[in-house]
Homo-oligomer: A and B are copies of this chain.
């Protein structure tokens, strides 16, 4: 017989997998002798069983629940449904990882027509008792029975109007009884049965609701975003109610042992007198700081401070605690490692090491790599900022500095962000705006607080956000925003300071983030631990410089075609594309050669002695030609060819499935002269750097190889050209030729490919598309169905699919190294900056990961964590 239900004192506080974070920590606090209201935890295994059984609670679990409940009743001397001393409980979810607000909670359970009287009698406060009861009916009807919230809100509003009052708190006990009668009548009508009077029925309903809420849409989205498997399940914590709303010697609060924004070591929290937990969260009343408690009840305050310190020392991390004071008596309701900003995270990690509480390795494990993103974006230049005067201010909702032209819709932002920096200005944001927010430099809203949609999402993205700026008058029709009398259009720049909330007209100079102070120490420790090298995907000297500043040890992917789109080059590229003969094509390529060579010289300069991997032309040629009639007409004129001829060439480039078309090394097979030009540029540039005293070892990467013979063919061209160039210049350099592994067949035949390739770089974007057989663009249409139906829990374009794609990667590394033991293996897909992917890459023995410059520190930390996790 499996034991599914544990008293807090019986549970193993180390076993979060079984008891969830909340349950485990309640057990810890109980066993540390802290004042925790009695209760018990129903394990996550019970939740898993619930789903295994087709969403049915096993009878054994129900039996164990009531047996354990009986123990608690006995110990507290209270009884479920009692008319004198009723036992009331809260029922809360609690998964292994914290998922704040994602699942459901029910308070005051145990109240019915009888026990509400008992509560009134015992507290001498009938108004309090009936308020608890009506809240319970509301919550239960919504959460357990799915009747929604709106009916209840309407009824309350109607009664307020009838009674001529404004606040809930003005209701009398009699008003509340009237309300309860209406609630129950509604319940009867909707459900066809009376509101359950049996607390045991209530309890089973609530437990099931918690289990069910594990699978609600917002929990699923949260899990996908935070990488939490749906198989974990949630525990259920059933706990004696304590009440912070029993008068002025009662209250409730939330506190952190350190400042979650800065990491400063000081008790930080909020306290609300005569209130229940939900009042603090709902933001209806503004809480005081924790110091208020000191003033009103120093003894309890001191007791609390002692507990917080004990908890921090015990858990060796900053704690986020909920507590309630019921008529002068302190109860601890929850403790957990506190969420914090990236700035706070690195400071706390360093301080805890300095305080001797943890080791450097433990410090590294305490920081969520993705969070570092917040630290990597530009800030305003201090001087420039001093010279500027804000035109208005909003709430500093998400830190960082942003500067861009004004956009009023997400669509507009997505379109314009391709060519210029934009700031998204909205009355308020909604989930449909997410993509627009993502491409914007910053977000400015007229409405909403620091917990509004805009603020929450922007912080999640590491995007700067100023929220709730009431001074904005937005005219979406006219596409203008008026701020304090002055009107700005879509051609105007705004600068936003997400750390102060200030808004500036025009452009303010920004400075790049740098790695120093606490951040520098953390990076230093990570560098000492990690085995994987970290490179950057960079196509420009500017990107390369950013990457080096952030600690990159080379360029893992330079996409040469990005250089082809530049205005001064696209003409030559198009000339090459419409060429009919090799000679014409070579002539056009000759124009590109000096530019491309110069690109590489600058890139080598920026990377110093570090390796630079240059990928040869990859995209299908039709990406370089226009598709619209008028653009083709213009181009024909410019190119001095007939419209018909140009149109025919462009039509000839059409592909049914461009992803599976004429691109990558296939271009070099058809047009070897392109590879010749690119090789020339790479080698000539390296020789120029050598002449300047630098040492560069270029790595030439052939894309989209599926068969060793493709690579062999192109490599022969590269080697022949390189030898020619070196002979011309009378000087030799070392260079390497390798390949992307981005086609399933390349991974499957890696042993053969390694006979030619000196290095492998996994192109996990394409490898994922082809291994799954869907393209990212097209899959967007149906992936939501896949998430909804739990077929996928993760976006395979975010995190490498370790089971399928990962199997190919593992095979390729093993087979490649069987052929060539010193084969250098890396990854340059966008996955390269994803921490879970970095961990996977470490585990399969890659030499490096390469990611966007702004993700380099994230990858560095993730690489260190990967080593530590492996231990």
B791 and A713: CB pair below 8 A?
yes
A790 contacts across to B, CB distance below 8 A: 709
CA distance A660 to B658 in the complex (A): 10
A778 and B707: CB pair below 8 A?
no
5 tightest Cβ-Cβ pairs between the two chains A and B: A661-B778, A745-B804, A660-B775, A743-B773, A744-B744
CA distance A769 to B791 in the complex (A): 24
CA distance A709 to B791 in the complex (A): 5
Q: Name A's interface SS.
A: helix
Beyond A658-B657, A748-B804, A791-B709, whether A772 also contacts B785 by CB under 8 A is no
CA distance A446 to B216 in the complex (A): 75
A774 contacts across to B, CB distance below 8 A: 660-661, 666, 706
* B-contact bits for A794-837, CB 8 A (1 contact / 0 none): 00000001011101100000000000000000000000000000
Given A660-B660, A707-B804, 9 more pairs with CB closer than 8 A: A657-B658, A660-B778, A661-B774, A662-B782, A666-B774, A748-B803, A748-B804, A749-B804, A770-B771
A657 contacts across to B, CB distance below 8 A: 657-660, 775, 777-778
* B-contact bits for A735-774, CB 8 A (1 contact / 0 none): 0000000111100110010000000000000100111111
| A547 to B: closest C-beta gap in Å | 29
- Tell yes or no: A726 within 8 A of B by CB: no
B661 and A748: CB pair below 8 A?
no
A658 and B656: CB pair below 8 A?
yes
- Tell yes or no: A640 within 8 A of B by CB: no
* B-contact bits for A428-444, CB 8 A (1 contact / 0 none): 00000000000000000
A792 contacts across to B, CB distance below 8 A: 707, 709
- Tell yes or no: A786 within 8 A of B by CB: yes
Binding site for B on A (CB under 8 A): 655-662, 666, 669-670, 704, 706-707, 709-710, 713, 742-745, 748-749, 752, 766, 769-775, 777-779, 781-782, 785-786, 789-792, 801, 803-805, 807-808
Among B661, B745, B789, B804, the residue within 8 A (CB) of A771 is B745
CA distance A656 to B808 in the complex (A): 26
A752 contacts across to B, CB distance below 8 A: 803
Among B656, B766, B781, B805, the residue within 8 A (CB) of A745 is B805
| A837 to B: closest C-beta gap in Å | 17
Beyond A713-B791, A804-B745, whether A706 also contacts B786 by CB under 8 A is no
CA distance A657 to B660 in the complex (A): 8
A713 contacts across to B, CB distance below 8 A: 789, 791
Closest to A655 in B: B778
CA distance A769 to B659 in the complex (A): 11
Q: Would you list 13 pairs from A and B whose C-beta atoms are within 8 A, ordered by A residue?
A: A657-B775, A660-B778, A669-B782, A669-B785, A669-B791, A670-B785, A707-B804, A745-B772, A745-B805, A748-B803, A748-B804, A770-B770, A770-B773
A666 and B771: CB pair below 8 A?
no
CA distance A752 to B791 in the complex (A): 14
CA distance A790 to B669 in the complex (A): 11
CA distance A660 to B656 in the complex (A): 11
Closest to A666 in B: B782
| A726 to B: closest C-beta gap in Å | 21
| A349 to B: closest C-beta gap in Å | 38
Closest to A806 in B: B748
CA distance A773 to B620 in the complex (A): 13
A748 contacts across to B, CB distance below 8 A: 771, 803-804, 807-808
CA distance A193 to B779 in the complex (A): 67
A785 contacts across to B, CB distance below 8 A: 669-670
Closest to A804 in B: B745
Closest to A777 in B: B656
A781 contacts across to B, CB distance below 8 A: 661-662
Beyond A670-B782, A804-B748, whether A743 also contacts B772 by CB under 8 A is yes
CA distance A707 to B801 in the complex (A): 11
A769 contacts across to B, CB distance below 8 A: 660
Q: Which of A658, A745, A766, A790 has the most CB atoms of chain B within a 10 A radius of its CB? A: A745
CA distance A21 to B742 in the complex (A): 43
Q: Which of A656, A749, A778, A805 has the most CB atoms of chain B within a 10 A radius of its CB? A: A778
Q: Which of A744, A772, A807 has the most CB atoms of chain B within a 10 A radius of its CB? A: A744
A801 contacts across to B, CB distance below 8 A: 745
Beyond A748-B804, A748-B808, whether A660 also contacts B773 by CB under 8 A is yes
B662 and A778: CB pair below 8 A?
yes
| A799 to B: closest C-beta gap in Å | 14
A772 contacts across to B, CB distance below 8 A: 706, 743, 745
A804 contacts across to B, CB distance below 8 A: 706-707, 744-745, 748-749
| A764 to B: closest C-beta gap in Å | 13
B773 and A656: CB pair below 8 A?
no
Q: Which of A656, A782, A791, A803 has the most CB atoms of chain B within a 10 A radius of its CB? A: A791
B778 and A669: CB pair below 8 A?
no
Beyond A656-B777, A782-B670, whether A707 also contacts B791 by CB under 8 A is yes
CA distance A749 to B803 in the complex (A): 7
CA distance A657 to B807 in the complex (A): 25
A669 contacts across to B, CB distance below 8 A: 782, 785-786, 789, 791
A791 and B710: CB pair below 8 A?
yes
Closest to A784 in B: B670
CA distance A656 to B659 in the complex (A): 8
Closest to A768 in B: B745
Q: Which of A709, A773, A790 has the most CB atoms of chain B within a 10 A radius of its CB? A: A773
Among B655, B744, B782, the residue within 8 A (CB) of A773 is B744
| A104 to B: closest C-beta gap in Å | 26
A659 contacts across to B, CB distance below 8 A: 656-657, 659-660
| A400 to B: closest C-beta gap in Å | 33
CA distance A655 to B785 in the complex (A): 17
